[in-house]
Chain A
Amino acid sequence: DVKVTQSSRYLVKRTGEKVFLECVQDMDHENMFWYRQDPGLGLRLIYFSYDVKMKEKGDIPEGYSVSREKKERFSLILESASTNQTSMYLCASSPLGSTYRGDNEQFFGPGTRLTVL
């Protein structure tokens, strides 16, 4: 089974702090994603990565950065946390070239609920 894990289920930080959210997948997937989930807004893509050291902005990248130094690990960084970044953060992974093989499912982690005070 594909396993996507996230470093924390719950996190409380203060305004202005630098925050790191870690995601690890164990299925050698090339693609990794960070989403933000808010009530009434669904899932919105922050960043994704299709290879080590490669990244692409999603729909709401402002205030966030990412790092992918190893294939299995994708980090989301809040450089200076703000209260409007209080949210549920979901990480996901999928295999590359999945479009052509049909196995294009994204596998999700359990989520990190971040509160910024």
Chain B
Amino acid sequence: AQTVTQSQPEMSVQEAETVTLSCTYDTSESDYYLFWYKQPPSRQMILVIRQEAYKQQNATENRFSVNFQKAAKSFSLKISDSQLGDAAMYFCAFKSQGGSEKLVFGKGTKLTVNP
């Protein structure tokens, strides 16, 4: 079974600085998807960024980018120019390419942005 590990329960960053959230996963599959979801306080969970394992190029979405290291099974999220609105719980998630539609989530990292 796949597992997803987020080793940083909490992180903090100064406004306008850059922060990197870590995620590692364990799988024997070669094709899969990885996701970062954001859950702001008292608000809905939304997708931040996704990465297909077969793509070598790291995904980017505006200030959000990932460092996908397939051999190391690592999938970190970099937030550049951090803003107060980035404060949230961030969850890393794994999904198999075939078969089940289920997501396997990490335990989350709480990000605080200091003004």
Q: Are B101 and A99 in contact (CB under 8 A)?
A: yes
Q: Are A31 and B101 in contact (CB under 8 A)?
A: yes
Among candidates A48, A58, A102, A108, residue contacting B46 with C-beta atoms closer than 8 Å? A108
Instruction: Check A94 for interface membership: any CB of B closer than 8 A.
Output: yes
Against B, the Cβ 8 Å flags (1 = close, 0 = not) of A93-107 are 010101100101110
Q: In the bound complex, what is the Cα–Cα distance between A108 and B45 (angstroms)?
A: 6
Instruction: Check B30 for interface membership: any CB of A closer than 8 A.
Output: no
Q: In the complex, which residue of chain B has the Cβ closest to the Cβ of A45?
A: B102
Q: Are A42 and B91 in contact (CB under 8 A)?
A: yes
Among candidates A99, A105, A106, residue contacting B98 with C-beta atoms closer than 8 Å? A99
Against B, the Cβ 8 Å flags (1 = close, 0 = not) of A22-51 are 000000000101000000111111001010
Known: A42-B108, A109-B44. A102 touches B52 (CB 8 A): yes
Q: How far is the CB of B105 from the nearest CB of chain A, in Å?
A: 4
Q: Which residues of B are found within 8 Å of A92, using beta-carbon distances?
A: 45
How many A-B pairs have beta carbons closer than 8 Å: the answer is 49
Interface residues on A, range: 20 to 34
Instruction: Check A90 for interface membership: any CB of B closer than 8 A.
Output: yes
Q: In the complex, which residue of chain A has the Cβ closest to the Cβ of B50?
A: A105
Q: Are A111 and B108 in contact (CB under 8 A)?
A: no
Q: In the bound complex, what is the Cα–Cα distance between A40 and B97 (angstroms)?
A: 27
Interface set, chain A 69-108, CB cutoff 8 A to B? 90, 92, 94, 96, 98-99, 102, 104-106, 108
Q: Are B102 and A104 in contact (CB under 8 A)?
A: no
Q: How far is the CB of B45 from the nearest CB of chain A, in Å?
A: 4
Instruction: Check A61 for interface membership: any CB of B closer than 8 A.
Output: no
Q: In the complex, which residue of chain B has the Cβ closest to the Cβ of A111?
A: B44
Residues of B within 8 A of A (CB): 6, 9, 33, 35, 37, 43-47, 50, 52, 91, 95-98, 101-103, 105-108
Residues of A within 8 A of B (CB): 31, 33, 40-45, 48, 50, 58, 90, 92, 94, 96, 98-99, 102, 104-106, 108-111
